[in-house]
Each structure stands twice: as C-alpha cells, then as structure tokens.
Amino acid sequence: MAHGVQRHAATIRETDRNMIENTAFIALSRQTALRRQMDVIANNVANMNTAAYKNQRMLFEEYLVKPAAETRLSFVQDVAVFRDLSAGEMNATGNPLDVAIDGDGYFVVESGGAERYTRNGHFRVDAEGTLVTADGAPVLDVDRRPILLDPNERALTIGRDGTISGALGPIAQIAVVAFDDPHGLKALGGSLYRTNQEPLPVETPVVIQGMIEGSNVAPVLEMTKLTTLARSYQSTQRLIENDHDLRRRTIRALGRVG
C-alpha cells in the first residue's frame, strides 16, 4: 500500500513538474518575442525623422512541440524582420542637390570599397567636387563612376531620368537601380543597404529635384504599439511570477505527501 502511494505521489510530482515547466517555457517564449518586437518598434520611433527610412515589422509564427504522451504545446517564435517598402512623404527642400525617387529604385553609392544602395537623396558636393551623400559616400553614375561637379556651378538641374546638367549641358546621369527581391536588402544603418543580388537598371526612373523622401513611420501608430506591447510584456511577467508561486506551493505540498 505504501509503495502504491509513493508511486502515485511520484506520478503527481512528474505531471505537475511538466505542467509547470511547459507553462514557464511558453510564457518565456512569448516574453522574448515581445522584447524583440519592442526593440524593433523603438528603432522605428528613433528613425521617424530619418530620410527614406523604412518601417520595420516582426514576423511571427506558431511553433508546435508534441512531447511524448502529451498534447501539442504552442510556442511563440519570431522568424524574421521585414520592411514596409511603401514610399514616405515627399518633402520639398529647395536644395537643387536634393533628389527623391518617385516609385521603385535605389541610388547607388560607394561605401567601404563596395556598392551600397539608398533612397536617401540628400546629396552635396565635397571639397574635391564629388557628389556625395550626407555621410560623404560618393554617388555613382550609370557607368558606376563618381560624379564630379564644379562647386561654383549655379545652374545645376537634375532631370526626371537622373541626368545632371549645367550651363554647358549634360554632365552625368545618376544611377537608379532595382532588385528582384527588395526585401532581401540588408540594412547597414545611415539609410544604406547591401545585397548580393545583381542590381537591375530602372528603365524609366522618376527622379524629382529639390525633394527628399521622408520616413514612412507613423509615429502615433508606433507609440500605440509600444504601449500595447509593454502591457502584454507586463501581463506575461505576472503569469511567470504566478507560475513560480505555483511551483513553490507544489513543492511544499508534494514534500508533505512524500
């Protein structure tokens, strides 16, 4: 009889232990995903004034596990971060070297000895007369060469196809390229992207002079998301704390049975 009670108590201990551990693991998976999502949204808010910044979102899926002799357990798993590629608002600057792309496409610049890509068209002319980004990366033309301009030129115009012209006529054409999978571009910071994909020339680019594409982040929406996520995180934390309390009470109760 005593051995039967002990075996029954052992079964209860094993069942309770599995239940408690599963609850904790599921809650922690949810909390981890929420924390990463909060980091992504916080980054969106920090870049809401960054030219041509693209809003990022988390992609989640349900991860199912079926332990032996138990029902399936559902965990939360964040599988990727993807960008919202919709265009940001066009803002007039009055600067003749500021340009924005209306539609698909990226400017090509040289950074770190390699081609990089950006939609941030806030350009300037450096001391050597090279057209560069705000961070000093040379802007490349359709032949992948740096664009040289006369710093004293006062009649610069940039056509819708990206052709830069001065008082004496056309000087160079800014390269505008696209990719088969724009979501595959990897963000480097500073509005730059890299990729191993082959860039494809945009046949009929639409480049607008004197304009800058703004961020497509909706600040109010992102702040609302942050508030909702913070509440969900706190709710999950309370679940974990309640689980710990249950674990302690179970251990004490099973100790008395044993």
pLDDT interval class at 258 (50, 70, 90): low
DSSP 82-142: EE--PPPPEEE---TTBEEESSS-EEEEEETTEEEEES--BEEE-TTSBEEETT-PBBBBT
CA-closest candidate to residue 150, choices 176, 172, 119, 128: 128
The pLDDT score that the predictor gives to residue 67 is 53
Using the predicted structure, report yes or no on whether residue 7 has a pLDDT greater than 50.
no
Strands 99-101 and 106-111: unpaired
* pLDDT 10s digits, 110-164: 998 999 999 999 999 999 999 999 999 999 999 999 999 998 888 899 999 999 9
Q: Write the DSSP symbol of residue 224.
A: H
Span 17-27, mean pLDDT? 59
Q: Percentage of the chain with pLDDT > 90? A: 55
Using the predicted structure, report yes or no on whether residue 252 has a pLDDT greater than 60.
yes
The pLDDT score that the predictor gives to residue 125 is 95
Span 40-44, mean pLDDT? 90
The pLDDT score that the predictor gives to residue 32 is 78
Q: Write the DSSP symbol of residue 39.
A: H
Query: CA 119, CA 168: separation in Å to the nearest integer?
Result: 28
The pLDDT score that the predictor gives to residue 30 is 75
The least confident of 50-64, 185-199, 216-230 is: 50-64
Query: CA 42, CA 47: separation in Å to the nearest integer?
Result: 9
The pLDDT score that the predictor gives to residue 158 is 97
Query: CA 74, CA 77: separation in Å to the nearest integer?
Result: 10
Span 42-49, mean pLDDT? 92
As a whole number, the mean pLDDT across the chain is: 83
* pLDDT 10s digits, 201-234: 999 999 999 999 999 999 999 999 888 888 887 8
Q: Say if CB 187 and CB 163 are below 8 A apart.
A: no
Q: Say if CB 227 and CB 180 are below 8 A apart.
A: no
pLDDT interval class at 173 (50, 70, 90): very high
Using the predicted structure, report yes or no on whether residue 58 has a pLDDT greater than 90.
no
Span 58-75, mean pLDDT? 53
